[in-house]
Amino acid sequence: KAGVTQTPRYLIKTRGQQVTLSCSPISGHRSVSWYQQTPGQGLQFLFEYFSETQRNKGNFPGRFSGRQFSNSRSEMNVSTLELGDSALYLCASSLEANYGYTFGSGTRLTVV
């Protein structure tokens, strides 16, 4: 079965721009979560969605937002990009809470 698909794989943006990243979960998975990975901070939780409802949000500024659609696909948006937003953004899907996660390959965002 198809895995978790993240698009695009790589992205270069300029400071001040905004970006939208997409995540398609495994078919049947209703939970999608997003993470930021940087060399300095490691993996950090951004959001978790279940059936279009945000269940929790990490400690990130309001420039980071997300949503989930009725088909469980999810998007995250970062507005007014800063250099420090350069990171690998990962999403993961799971069937439900307390089930295992399947991670996508990530989107590598570079802000210049």
Partner 1 sequence: KNEVEQSPQNLTAQEGEFITINCSYSVGISALHWLQQHPGGGIVSLFMLSSGKKKHGRLIATINIQEKHSSLHITASHPRDSAVYICARRGNYKLTFGKGTLLTVNP
How many of the chain's residues bind partner 1 (CB under 8 A)? 23
CA distance 40 to 47: 20
Taking every pair of C-alpha atoms in the chain, what is the biggest distance, in angstroms?
A: 38
Span from 12-20, 22-30, 45-53, 72-80 in contact with partner 1 (CB under 8 A): 45-53
Span from 18-26, 68-76, 78-86, 91-99 in contact with partner 1 (CB under 8 A): 91-99
Helix (H, G, I), strand (E, B) or coil at 90: strand
Q: Are 46 and 34 in contact (CB under 8 A)?
A: yes
Residue nearer to partner 1 on the CB measure, 19 or 34: 34
* Among 45, 60, 65, 95, interactor with partner 1 by CB under 8 A: 45
Which whole-number Å values give the CA distances from 1 to 25, 26, 38, 71, in the listed order? Answer: 11, 8, 30, 17
Q: Interface residues for partner 1 in 60-89 (CB under 8 A)?
A: none
Residues in the site for partner 1, rule: CB under 8 A?
33, 35, 42-45, 48, 50, 55-56, 58, 90, 92, 97-106
